[in-house]
Chains A and B, each alone.
Chain A
Amino acid sequence: MIKRDLVIVGGGPAGMAAAVSAYENGVKDILLIERDQYLGGILNQCIHTGFGINYFKEILTGPEYADRFIKKIKDIQDIEVSLKSLVVKLTNDKTVTFLKPGRLETVKAKAVIMATGCREKTREMIHIQGTRPAGIFSAGLAQKLINIEGLLPGKEVVIIGSGDIGLIMARRFALEGAKVKAIIEIQKETRGLLRNVVQCVEDFDIPFYFNHKISRIYGKDRVEKVSVMKVDDNFNEIPGSLFEIKCDTILISVGLISENELIEMAGVKIEENKTSVPGIFVCGNSFKIYDMVDSVTEDSILTGKLAAEYIMSCK
């Protein structure tokens, strides 16, 4: 079994900031585990601007923001990075098991920081009924398809929910030449940032339906249409308000949830950046959902420091 002072799970903005911070606070034996083949996490697909205004006092795109940390990590020899590595188990004695091509590794750490980010809520979580054809994507998957893979998911799009990724993707589809036919938001105002409403929705004359919800998805092989209804402030249907929108693609952008399955499986409970087990920490979006990556960075720097203090106190 390998031994490390600090194991960090997740090489996105949270994990990278925590690693740098822990190093700067005296930890010299760090393993950073990332499941993808690159560091940077979800920032790599967030190619739009809007990152870094608080932390770097500059307006950067996601990959540029990530790059600043990637460069730092590469310069620090004491941070070992294991890419294409998926952690499959965490135990409350701070043992981490991960798989990577060719290997199954178990690492015993003095401290563990979980920086596993978040995932998007699915259509199922908001109970949209109807059929299950091709053409239903989470906004993040659509973002990955277009920005990373160069693939356009569809040409006539309805976006469910007005989370920031959904708004950003409305613009992205419009720029690619697709028609964004509607954004449907059940609440009476946007869930995303106002600036995104302006530059992603209004700039492209995309119809924004507040107090509306999708009642059903239609289509056998591919999405064909959705039915939409107006709701009151308690989300109850307003009779007679039902109408249909033809589309071939539906994006779901109804919020994010922290990825905490490994922590849960270990029987560990999350408390203010720490957990019920001394030496197991959690930061970034896996701790709580932040609006901005700058806040994720701040939170993770703090967590890196806490982990360093913990490790020092063990000696």
Chain B
Amino acid sequence: MTIKKLTCIECPEGCRLTVDIENSRIIKVAGNKCPKGEEYAISEIENPVRILTSSVLSQGLGLKMIPVRTDKPIPKSRIFEAMEEIKKVRVSRPLSTGDIVVKNFSGLGVNLIATRRVK
């Protein structure tokens, strides 16, 4: 059995998690103060994911940069690839908070959404 130590990033609490792994399967998560900690531990070991936040360039709108994020987490391993796509995005239509900027962003099965209103 191997023991892995993690810090949960689901909330500012930052619980220190202990994960017991046997035959590459998680058998126990301890140290979490809420169920999210367990979910996090499993995901972090099996397929670590992150919400990506950044900003994209606008053209002819009231803000030069429009903040964006993925509406669901994406695999950690594909973050840099996603960033390269973000750098290419140009927005020229007004958006409200939550509006989709790019559908099925970078083939990741998530949408890139605006996090600020821009006219």
Contacts and interface: CB of A to CB of B under 8 A. Distances in A.
Say if the two chains contact directly (CB < 8 Å). Answer: yes
Interface of A: 44, 47-50, 53, 59-64, 66-67, 70, 146-150, 175-177, 193-195, 197-199, 203, 291-292
Interface in B14-71: 14, 16, 50-55, 57, 63-65, 67-69
B3 interface: no
A195 B11 contact: yes
Contacts of B93: none
Given A53-B12, A291-B12, A67 B53 contact: no
Contact of B11 (A53, A63, A147, A175): A53
Given A61-B115, A67-B117, A291-B12, A194 B67 contact: no
A49 B69 contact: yes
A66 B116 CA distance: 9
Nearest to B51: A49
Contact of B7 (A49, A147, A175, A197): A197
A148 B58 CA distance: 11
A48 B53 contact: yes
B9 A195 contact: yes
B83 interface: yes
Contact of B65 (A48, A64, A149, A203): A149
Given A64-B97, A150-B64, A195 B53 contact: no
What range describes how many residues of B lie at the interface?
Answer: 20 to 34
Contacts of B16: 194
Contacts of B8: 195
Given A175-B54, A194-B14, A197-B7, A61 B69 contact: yes
Nearest to A150: B65
B9 A199 contact: yes
B97 A147 contact: no
A150 B57 contact: yes
A195 B14 contact: yes
Contacts of A203: 50, 76
Nearest to A37: B62
Nearest to B68: A47
B108 interface: no
Nearest to A148: B65
A50 B10 CA distance: 9
A49 B12 contact: no
A64 B51 CA distance: 15
What 9 A-B pairs have minimum CB-CB distances, sorted nearest first? A194-B14, A63-B116, A195-B9, A47-B67, A61-B115, A67-B97, A150-B65, A63-B115, A194-B7
